[in-house]
Amino acid sequence: MSDPTTSSTGHDLRHIGRERVLQLATPLPATSRRVLIQHGTERAGTGQSVPFGKAAPSVPHSNKKKGTYVCAVGGLPLFHSKDKFESGTGWPSFVRPIAPEHIVERRDVSMGMVRVEVLDKRTGAHLGHVFNDGPRPTGKRYCINMAALAFVPDGVDIPTEAYDVTSIAAPPSGAGAGADEEEEEVVEKEADAGAGGAAKARRCAIL
């Protein structure tokens, strides 16, 4: 029988508790705290990830480097660059999470509309929303706030249990070499700069 507290990727899914969540969120930038804890949003086209301690710097929403996006509070891996695509909305978009059990999707009726909110499983932190207008193969568009994430280049270790993302030490010399130079081939999908893209942006704008 599978352990419900451990994911298919070997990561601890136990909720760390509100007090610990707030503690881990304290050193994060104000925008990240507002998004993660207060269910806020970042302005389109301005998103910056939280640095992965001293192991990796902050990256913009348009980042195309190969690696994993983890939750900025608690560090659970959420998305990988191979599933990232250009949606034309100004927010990072993904076709699927790393593992379905790493996120929670729940009905959101705020702002006078019905949407599906995406939360981090380990902390309950707000990430964004998911829509059914994405590219193949899933048809999903996980529209996520970059401020809710930290980017970990391929080759850099990610702890399996909850941790302080801001306290990660620099990797040994040479670890993850080449990750900064390589860029992921984006999932094929043309960004619609016209009415369709604008409509998506409006829906994401009130994440």
Strand segments, DSSP code E, in 52-102 are 67-71, 77-80, 84-85, 93-94
* Dihedral (CA of 34, 10, 161, 53) sign: negative
| H or E segment to which residue 19 belongs | helix 18-25
> Is 143 annotated in the active site?
yes
Token pair, residue 134, equals 């994405």
Number of DSSP helices (H) and strands (E) in the chain, helices first: 3, 9
Catalytic residue among 70, 143, 147, 207: 143
**Residues known to be catalytic:** 143
